[in-house]
Amino acid sequence: MTDYSSPQIPALRRSWVICPYCKAKFALHDNKAECRGVFVKCTRGCGKEFEIIIVNGKQKR
Ligand SMILES: [Zn+2]
C-alpha cells in the first residue's frame, strides 16, 4: 500500500516510454532519467526498432 497523504512530494514521477511509430506504451521512466543509445524493438505494437532518448526526464521523439 502506498500512502499518498504524505505532505512530502515524491522525488520521482513516472512517465511512459512510448513507441514513436504506433504510440504503444513500452516502458516506464522516472523524471530524473537520462537515456540514449538504447535501441529496442516495439513488442506491443508495430514491431519496429526505435531508440529510447530521454533528456531531463522527458522522452524525445
Ligand atoms: Zn510501435
What pLDDT sits at residue 1? 63
29 CA distance to ligand 1 middle (Å) = 17
Q: Mean pLDDT, 10 residues at a time, over the chain (61 residues)?
A: 62 90 95 95 96 96 79
What pLDDT sits at residue 8? 63
59 CA distance to ligand 1 middle (Å) = 15
Neighbours of ion ligand 1 (CB under 5 A): 19, 21-22, 24, 42, 45-46
Residues 6+ apart with CB under 8 A from 28: 14, 15, 16, 17
> 37 exposed, middle or buried (CB, 10 Å; 0-12, 13-18, 19+)?
exposed
What pLDDT sits at residue 61? 79
32 CA distance to ligand 1 middle (Å) = 24
Domain ranges of the chain: 33-61
41 CA distance to ligand 1 middle (Å) = 8
What pLDDT sits at residue 2? 63
